[in-house]
Amino acid sequence: MAHLAENATFIPGKVGRLRGAIATILVLFTGSTAVADGADRVLALGGAVTEIVYALGQGDRLVARDSTSSYPPEASTLPDVGYVRALSPEGVLSVNPDLILAIEGSGPPEAIGVLHEAEIPLVIVPEGYDAEAILRKITIVAEALDVPEKGALLAAQVDVSLAEAVASGRTEAPPRVLFILSMEGGRIMASGSGTAAEGIIGLAGGVNAMQGFDGYSQVSDEAVLVADPDVILMMDRSGDHAANDAEIRAHPVLGRTRAAETGAIVRQPGLLLLGFGPRTPAAVKALSDAFQRTQG
């Protein structure tokens, strides 16, 4: 356990470079250590981690969650220890956990250091935006909760249903999809390469229409015009992120894209779309169906 926690303390900050190596190390450690036998006060950090705990039928072992864990609805009734990258060490200790399952990037590192001091078993779950990453998350969480059989079962289910969803989503001409993270003041914040959005678009049989930059970034109107996406994909959220269809059609640039002209505007709940957890097969299915509807 001590090794595991030491690995955990230096993760944030160089997440990108170390991702692969750490994932391997963690799998090795979690694989070889019975992390916390019968831990029954579990703190889950990260939307996908919480979903996996519930999907394994272990939801009653949770005592708290972070603010990004909003699914399933029962999770919202648990105490919220705050944003996953800005945890307060005493807040985390106050829910008296005997096991912490944290998505990669949880922090700040100082807080993780204090949790190490307090000798609370901490398992870091590596993030990733493909099928393999989901199975890895499930395996690690299941091992940590000491329910490896249930984990293997869930992983197999997810693997099969994801493969089915991906196969049914494949088309002759993959639609070119523009993912819009937010549209504040008419400025378009879109997804480039290496994001969860690009991952899910690819699984659902589309291709990311915006290339040439990493992560989410504000894009120029002209670039959007040149990309001319077949589909516009957004998160289904109330508030400032959402823009309704009328607003998109009225937008000087988005309104002229193929997507707006054919009404191919798709919305999905953010956590379902970008969480890369057990619901991802359903997300892929819903998304590829939506793609095919808009193209048909």
Partner 1 sequence: MAVVEATGPDPAHQTMGDRQALARRTLLGLAALLAVTAIVSLGIGASGTSLWTALAQTIRGEEIGTREAVVLFDIRLPRLALGVAVGAALAVSGAVMQGLFRNPLADPGLVGVGAGAGLGAITAIVLGSLLPFALQDALSYYLVPLAAFFGGWATTLLLYRLSTHRGRTSVAVMLLGGIALGALAGAISGILIYMADDAQLRDLTFWGLGSLAGATWDKVFIAGPLILLALATTPFLARSLNALALGESPANHLGIPVQRMKNISILTVAAATGAAVAVSGGIGFVGIVVPHLLRILIGPDHRYLLPCAALLGATLLIAADMISRTIIAPAELPIGIVTATLGGPFFLWILLRNRSLLDL
Structure tokens at 5: 């926690």
Stretch that binds partner 1, among 101-109, 140-148, 233-241, 260-268 (CB under 8 A): 101-109
For residues 85 and 141, give the distance between their C-alpha atoms in angstroms, rounded to a whole number. 19
Q: How far is the CB of 27 from partner 1 (least distance, A)?
A: 22
Number of neighbouring beta carbons within 10 Å of residue 125: 27
DSSP labels, 100-165: EEEETT-S-HHHHHHHHHTT--EEEEPP-SSHHHHHHHHHHHHHHTT-HHHHHHHHHHHHHHHHHH
Taking a C-beta distance cutoff of 8 angstroms, is the pair 276, 133 a contact?
Answer: yes
* 109 lies in the site for partner 1, by CB under 8 A: yes
* 111 lies in the site for partner 1, by CB under 8 A: yes
Stretch that binds partner 1, among 31-39, 79-87, 156-164, 241-249 (CB under 8 A): 79-87
* 212 lies in the site for partner 1, by CB under 8 A: no
For residues 279 and 200, give the distance between their C-alpha atoms in angstroms, rounded to a whole number. 12
* 293 lies in the site for partner 1, by CB under 8 A: no
Measured from the CB atom, the residue of 55 and 133 that comes closer to partner 1 is: 133
DSSP state of 200: H
Measured from the CB atom, the residue of 89 and 255 that comes closer to partner 1 is: 89
Measured from the CB atom, the residue of 139 and 195 that comes closer to partner 1 is: 195
| Residues at the interface with partner 1 (CB under 8 A) | 10, 13-17, 64, 67, 79-83, 85-96, 105, 108-111, 113-114, 117-119, 214-218
